[in-house]
Amino acid sequence: MKTGIKFLTLSLGVFVFMACEKVIEVPLNESDRELVVEAVARSVEGESYVKISKSGSVYDDSGFEKISTANVTITDKDGVVYTFSEDDGEPGTYRAEGFVVTENNQYELNVVAEDLSVVANSTSLTKPVLDSLSYLETTGGGFGGAGSDTTYLVFYHYTDNGAETNYYRIRAWVNGEEDEFFYLGDDQLGNGQPVQAPIFGSSVGPRDTVLIELSSIDKPTHLYLTTLASTLAGGGPFAPAPANPVTNLSEGIGYFGAFVVDTMSIVMP
C-alpha cells in the first residue's frame, strides 16, 4: 500500500496532492473479505474500465483476488446500456468498446459478482478547459534538481465554471511517465475565478515534455478520493485502525466516477 501522502492548500479552493498506486489498493478495516470495485468512466474512448476484486485483510499481504465472472453494465440517463466484458489480457478488468462519457450526463453502474449486486451512480459535469501552461526556471538544485542543474516548476491555468459547483482531479506526465502524485481541488473558495497551481511531484529539466490532464468529477468521487488520501496519511504506530474511504457503491468498497477531461502539453526550453 502506498502511504506517501502530502496535502496542499491554495487560496482559490482546496487542493490536495497525494501519491497513489496506479491500481487502488484500498486500506481496509480488519473484517470479512469484501468486494472491491474501481469503476472509472472517462470522456476519452478506450480509457474507461471497471476493476473487480475481493479484498484480503489489511494485515494480509497476499494481494486481492481478481473476479472474472462478473456481469457489468453502465447505463446513461437516456437508457442506453453499455455492457463491459472482461479484458482477456487483464483478469478482473472489464471494458466496453465505444463507451465514452459525455458532459452533463448521469450514469448508473451495475455489477453482479460473488452473489452480490452492486449499484452506483455518477454524474458528469461540464468539460473543464485548460487555458495555458507556464513555468518558473531555477538553477542550483531548486525544484528537485541537484548542483548546477536547470529545473522547472510547471503551472497549469484554467478558469472555474461559475455556473456549477466543480470538483477537479489533476494528473501530470513528464516524457510519458506519469507523476506519482495527483491533485484534487474544488471551487469552494473561488467559484468562477481563474486558477493557477504548480505540479510539485516530478523533476522537470531542459527539453522535457510535460502533459497535464484536468478532469471534472462529481462530489461523491471527490469525497472518495479525499477520504482515501486522509486514510492513507493517517498511519503511524499509535494511529487508530484505518477507516474505509467513503464509497458511493451500494455494496463493497471502492467507487464509481465519471471523468470529463482536457489535456495540454508544454516542452521546456
What's the pLDDT score for residue 27? 52
Give the alpha-carbon dihedral of 97, 102, 105, 107, to 10 degrees: 20
Question: What are the cell numbers at 111?
Answer: 455489477
Question: What are the cell numbers at 199?
Answer: 505540479
Angle at 139 between CA 136 and CA 144, to 5 degrees: 75
What's the pLDDT score for residue 24? 46
Give the C-alpha separation, 177 to 139, whole Å: 23
What's the pLDDT score for residue 234? 59
Rg (CA), the chain: 19
How far is residue 269 CA from its own chain's centroid? Answer: 30
Low-confidence spans in the chain with pLDDT less than 50: 1-14, 18-24, 30, 57-61, 236-237, 239
* Among 89, 137, 110, 92, CA closest to 41: 110
What's the pLDDT score for residue 228? 85
Name the region of 8 (left: φ>0; alpha: ψ -120 to 50; beta: rest): beta
What's the pLDDT score for residue 140? 67
Query: In 10 A of CB 57, how many CB atoms?
Result: 13
The helix (run of H) or strand (run of E) holding residue 227 is helix 219-233
Dihedral of alpha carbons 138, 144, 145, 147, sign: positive
Question: What are the cell numbers at 198?
Answer: 504548480
Q: Which domains, and CATH codes, for the chain?
A: 22-125+218-259 (no CATH), 130-216+263-267 (2.60.40)
What's the pLDDT score for residue 12? 38
What's the pLDDT score for residue 252? 92
What's the pLDDT score for residue 230? 77
The set of residues, in sequence order, having a beta carbon less than 8 Å from that of 131 and lying 6+ positions away, is 157, 158, 159, 194
Give the alpha-carbon dihedral of 229, 27, 107, 219, to 10 degrees: -30
pTM of the model: 0.83
Query: In 10 A of CB 263, how many CB atoms?
Result: 13
What's the pLDDT score for residue 148? 64
Tell me the per-residue pLDDT of 62-105, one tens digit each, with 9 for 90 and over. Answer: 568 899 999 999 999 999 999 999 999 999 999 999 999 999 99
Contact in structure between 166 and 187 (CB atoms under 8 Å): yes
Angle at 214 between CA 211 and CA 216, to 5 degrees: 160
